[in-house]
Amino acid sequence: MLAPRWRSVAELATAPAAPAGSVVERLSRLRRLAIVPALNEEENVGRVVDELRAFDPGMDVVVIDDASGDGTARVAAEHGAHVVRLPFNLGIGGAVQTGYRYAHEHGFDVAVQVDGDGQHDPAQLPLILGPLLDGEADLVVGSRFAGEGEFRSTATRRIGITIFARVVSAVVRQRVTDTTSGFRAVNRKGIALFAADYPHDYPEVEATVMCVKHRLRLAEAPVTMRERAGGRSSITALRSIYYMAKVLLAIFVGLFRRATVLTEEDR
Amino acid sequence: MTPWPVTIVAAIASLALLVVVFELIRSRRLRERYALLWLLTGVVLLVLSLWRGGLNTIAGWFGVETYPPAMLGAVGALFFLVVLLHYSTVISRLYDQNVILAQRLALLEQRLREEHVSDEGS
């Protein structure tokens, strides 16, 4: 493992963990948005929206329907979410970026990203919002591996996850344990960056590297994720090999790339 | 055996291909997902042009005994064919998406126009 040149966010979050109430209270002074990417999740998206509103009734929820063939958009709207329907499937990267563009255009201060399949528990949002509200990070990623507890998965996925974690940790010179987590929170800087530039297919790995390149401060917070309630994961075995090559190439080329210039207005 | 000039020119050409593709990705004119096949093509051609014994062996498998570098051309042609086919599928998908975009835009415009008219009427 790499020498910890950074303050472990696992420590940050476990030390004097702010009670959920205070996070919600501090949050209430900000304009906050939950971005929920969803593809064929009519069974789960309603519950996700309900849980988000239960956590913080003043939080806007935008569901990005990535051209679902089922009633995802209808269910989300019935549960009180803003719904953006994409004309055709853009993939998770394009869908999520649509959410960040929405956040940027509407001037939100904080955006959290929560999967529409219900694997992320909105009750755990205080864990990832804490470091953000404390001003300690611009992007906080909920990690399944930062805390204790085993994560069970197939061998190929575990290998992929380990390789990405090692590569990304080396590139960003900071220990990163979960590079594929879509449970995250960003402040205005993060919103502006992601609205301007967001990677496609399997984007979380590249987005992490991108943030650090733009001198945004990255932190991980330990979370637990739920088993998928319904639907199916979008990552199959054969595809993951292709993604692996693509993402590693993207990280490598990214090292030789200049950072996207953000104007003052964006920040 | 492959003549040395052929080896040198082929190696330089494949290296140039790799460099150009890399630069195109770096300057964001080529997306990674469309670059993978090109990079594979460049690497395979580079290996085959530098690994002279290997090229001989492979040429032997196919009964090409008089002039092994012919294999280099054949392998290159195969890869270009695959890249072209891949692009045909990409173009087809872009065409489909373009149709959907045009239809959605036209429907949106029509709805805006009607709402505008009804606003003026009331």
Are the beta carbons of B33 and A88 separated by less than 8 Å? no
Q: What is the pLDDT of residue A199?
A: 86
Q: DSSP letter at A141?
A: E
Chain A: residue whose CA lies nearest to B27: A257
- Find tokens 């190439």 and name the residue: A249
pLDDT in tens, B60-71: 898 888 888 888
- Determine the 3-state secondary structure of B108 from DSSP: helix
Contacting residues of A for B97, CB less than 8 Å apart: 87-88
CB count within 10 Å of CB A116 equals 31
Contacting residues of B for A201, CB less than 8 Å apart: 33
**CA gap A56, A52 in Å, rounded:** 6
CA distance B26 to chain A (A): 6
Q: What is the pLDDT of residue A151?
A: 59
According to DSSP, the residues that pair with A37 across neighbouring strands are A64
Give yes or no for a contact between A12 and A219, defined as CB atoms under 8 angstroms apart. Answer: yes
**CA gap A45, A233 in Å, rounded:** 15
Chain-wide mean pLDDT for chain A?
A: 84
Contacting residues of A for B31, CB less than 8 Å apart: 200
State in words which class domain A9-152+180-195+215-226 has: alpha beta
Which residues in chain B land under pLDDT 70?
A: 121-122
Chain A: residue whose CA lies nearest to B101: A87
What would the mean pLDDT of A189-194 be, rounded to a whole number? 95
Burial class (CB in 10 A: 0-12, 13-18, 19+), A152: exposed
pLDDT in tens, A53-94: 999 999 999 999 999 999 999 999 999 999 999 999 999 999
Chain B: residue whose CA lies nearest to A206: B32
Provide the residue count of chain B: 122
**CA gap B117, A248 in Å, rounded:** 53
- Find tokens 């001037």 and name the residue: A107
**CA gap A214, A122 in Å, rounded:** 28
> Pick from A210, A164, A249: which is nearest to B22 by CA?
A249
pLDDT in tens, A88-123: 999 999 999 999 999 999 999 999 999 999 999 999
**CA gap A177, A166 in Å, rounded:** 8
Q: By a Cβ cutoff of 8 Å, what residues of chain A touch chain B?
A: 87-88, 200-201, 242, 245-246, 249-250, 253, 256-257
Are the beta carbons of A87 and B97 separated by less than 8 Å? yes
Pairing of strands A82-85, A60-65: parallel
Are the beta carbons of B33 and A201 separated by less than 8 Å? yes
Are the beta carbons of B97 and A88 separated by less than 8 Å? yes
Q: What is the pLDDT of residue A241?
A: 80
Please report, as a single letter, which amino acid is at residue B55: L
Query: Which of A38-42, A161-165, B88-92 is least confident?
Result: A161-165
Q: What is the pLDDT of residue B45?
A: 94
- Find tokens 């990267």 and name the residue: A93
B32 touching A (Cβ < 8 Å): yes
> Pick from A186, A221, A181, A183: which is nearest to A205 by CA?
A181
| pLDDT band of A232, cuts 50, 70, 90 | low
